[in-house]
Structure 1
Amino acid sequence: MAIIDVIKFNGIANRNWLVYRYPGESFVYGTQLIVGEGQIAVFVKGGKALDFFSAGTYTLNAPNIPILQSLINIPFGGRTPFTAEVFFINKTVKLDVLWGTSDPISLIDPKYLVRMRVRAFGQFGIRITDYRVFLTEIIGAVGDDQIVKYDAVLNFFKGVTVTKVKTIIADTIINKKISVLEIAPLLEDLSETSQESLSGEFERFGIQIVNFNLSSINFPDEDFETINKILGEKAAFDIIGDNRYQVKRSFDVMEAAAGNEGGGSIASAGMGLGLGAGAGLAMGNLFSNTAGRVMNNPVKGLSCKKCGEMNEAGAKFCCSCGEKIATAQIECYSCSTTVDENAKFCSNCGKSMLNKTCPGCHTENKPGTKFCSDCGTKLEE
């Protein structure tokens, strides 16, 4: 095997390389080592990472390779041969590591009570900080390739990255009751939480997460169309008031779950049961609140003819626009039923409530009058 006098790595065309395994293991005492900017050279013997070299030019001798020297006991003097592996590690920060959820997070939006399929995307940056741990834990798992790229190593972390981010998003939406449509302002906080949660997983292998960005949380267009429909329904229920919208959505979800034969998971079934209980409670509260309002406010007055606002019984003027809304009450001359003074017929017996005009003197007479109060002319029935 040829003896190598110079060890160096000029790099490759792109920055996607992470580790370069130098093609040779036989060196001599006095070999020159050249390490470029942004590189770390590591001597490995027997699977153990030993001496490290940052950017610069070195002559391999006892002072420069103390750990390797103590392990193989290179004789002093001359160009004594020895064997070792040399790895060059890219120590620059890689900021464009992309990640995304391969499958959506299926959950119930807490505000609109509709099933959503949430996806998340972003990017993060990493750098190697503990070279000994990194080489020991990771490089042995990537085979004997001369060049190891970032993608090969990052594949090991895809699963844990997506799992932790999905858990954090689901916890925020379900337990903290933040609607998917209102989660955008929390992207920065969710990014920080995700970085804190993932840092330990990467540091175990000598890798530091420099930053972590959760840049997008979205869902399919058809889910957004469903939300738009629900928003329209909610606007109508808001006009009516009460909690009937929440109750309706709860029953809609329960009905949809009941019709999804064999398609739901155990988690979905549990969520359905929870919604069922919530719907029952909401319905009970609705009936209780409605009964309370009926007892406290048994009758609603007429709506204002000018602005349409509903006013309490007995109100004389509209609480919204000030229009006079009080209507005087009179008794039916025939059956004594109380009717509005403007009523044309009695709501009980059907008798006319209009004044009678005398055909002789044109005097106005009260309803039910048989003879004119002024001239005595008999009035028509």
Structure 2
Amino acid sequence: MGFFRDQFANVVEWQEFRDDMIFYKWNNDEIKKGSKLIIRPGQDAIFLNNGKIEGVFREDGEYDIVSEIVPFLSTLKGFKFGFNSGMRVEVLFVNTKEFTVKWGTKSAINIPAPGMPGGMPIRANGTFNFKVDDYVALIDQIAGVKDRYLVDDVKIRITSVLDQLLMKWITQEGKDMFNLQANASDISRGIQEDLDMQMIKSGITITGFNVMSFNYPKEIQDMITKNASYGMVGNMDKYQQISITDGMASGKMSGSGITSDMVEMMMGMNVANKMMNNINPPSQNQSQPAPNQNTEPAPNGNGQQRPNFCPNCGAKTGQANFCSNCGQKLV
């Protein structure tokens, strides 16, 4: 039995398929007469001879290697299988799907910022997409020396240069250091182009890159949030009103019921007054008393001042010179 063991036909297939595996190299045995090639959906099979591509097969299915594969190989199309001879080649199976990978900065990146000598520490995270695009480059740079290649291998290569690329595109002129999310699309596009230029040399193209969020230190984020609140409210009076409302809602002002009631009453009166002013605005033609108008009683004909009340009986006086109640002379 040992003499005939190596003469048995074999099956050439991706034996250890994993979703996170980019390629797998079959190089276990000689391909014997009667051997089968199995290509599953999402796979390409590349026949290699001494590191050179002999043929690429993309359609999934099961093939007889002697009759359906060998005739299409570049230099091995005339190979003759004998009883004791087989074809020594390598078959590289490539995962053709587009991979999506999450990334995040391992440590904060110190971005130069005005008023911060050491820079502003920023973290970022997002996703990137890639796929195998050039088989020749892939074999020359990676598959020639590796039997398998994983998504983590690509992730390590990309994250090793991400800090530099983030620094480059964040510090582009015109970027608001305190609102980087507004420029996330431009930053992502620039990083994708730079990454693609580096990875395409290995046969891999970066089909997408996305910065999902920038994370500031807590002190900086609190300042940004407060500044945004000022801008949204517009003035200090309204900001104080909102602060009081927030404090009441959160229970921070619940220590004194009287204080809370007074605050509510003041806020209610303030709102009511503003509503009344909006409903009945003061007329521009409404007559107002002159600042220096004399409200004292008018003097009589002799220039003497007539009292408003009778000094004898206290009755209210009019324009007469004598009190109408007791007859007292008024002037």
Same fold per superposition (TM over 0.5): yes
TM-score (norm 2): 0.58
Is 2:176 aligned against 1:179? yes
Shift of 1:120: 1.7
Shift of 1:122: 0.9
Which position in structure 1 is the counterpart of 2:24? 20
Q: Contact 2:70/2:79 (CA < 8 Å) preserved in 1?
A: no
Which position in structure 1 is the counterpart of 2:132? 128
Which position in structure 2 is the counterpart of 1:155? 156
Distance in 2, Cα, partners of 1:205 & 1:195: 16
Distance in 2, Cα, partners of 1:11 & 1:28: 21
Distance in 2, Cα, partners of 1:28 & 1:208: 36
Q: CA separation of 1:213/1:227 partners in 2, compared to 1, >3 Å: closer, same or farther? A: closer
Distance in 1, Cα, partners of 2:35 & 2:120: 63
Deviations 1:217-263 (A, max 9, x none): 1212133346679999x9xxx99xxxxxxxxxxxxxxxxxxxxxxxx
Which position in structure 2 is the counterpart of 1:165? 166
Shift of 1:68: 4.4
Distance in 1, Cα, partners of 2:98 & 2:176: 35
Which position in structure 1 is the counterpart of 2:206? 209
Is 2:199 aligned against 1:198? no
Distance in 2, Cα, partners of 1:228 & 1:92: 42
Distance in 1, Cα, partners of 2:145 & 2:158: 13
Matching residue's letter, 1:212: F
Distance in 2, Cα, partners of 1:21 & 1:124: 26
Distance in 2, Cα, partners of 1:152 & 1:141: 14
Count, aligned residues:
231
Distance in 2, Cα, partners of 1:139 & 1:2: 27
Q: Which moved more, 1:158-167 or 1:207-216?
A: 158-167
Shift of 1:210: 1.9
Matching residue's letter, 1:217: F
User: Is the partner of 1:37 in helix, strand or coil?
Assistant: coil
Aligned pair partner of 1:56 in 61, 64, 67: 61
User: Is the partner of 2:187 in helix, strand or coil?
Assistant: helix
Identity in percent: 26
Q: Gaps (5+ residues) in structure 2?
A: 237-303, 305-331
Distance in 1, Cα, partners of 2:71 & 2:162: 39
Distance in 1, Cα, partners of 2:154 & 2:112: 35
Relative contact order (alpha carbons < 8 A, sep ≥ 6): 1 or 2 greater? 2
Q: How does 1:236-315 map to 2 (within 5 A)?
A: none
Distance in 2, Cα, partners of 1:57 & 1:79: 24
Q: CA separation of 1:189/1:231 partners in 2, compared to 1, >3 Å: closer, same or farther? A: closer
Is 2:107 aligned against 1:103? yes
Deviations 1:157-192 (A, max 9, x none): 332344223311122xxx22x322222122122222
Deviations 1:39-68 (A, max 9, x none): 111112212233111122222237634574
Matching residue's letter, 2:156: N
Shift of 1:117: 0.7
RMSD: 3.7
TM-score (norm 1): 0.51
Q: CA separation of 1:184/1:227 partners in 2, compared to 1, >3 Å: closer, same or farther? A: closer
Report the structure number with the largest CA radius of gyration: 2
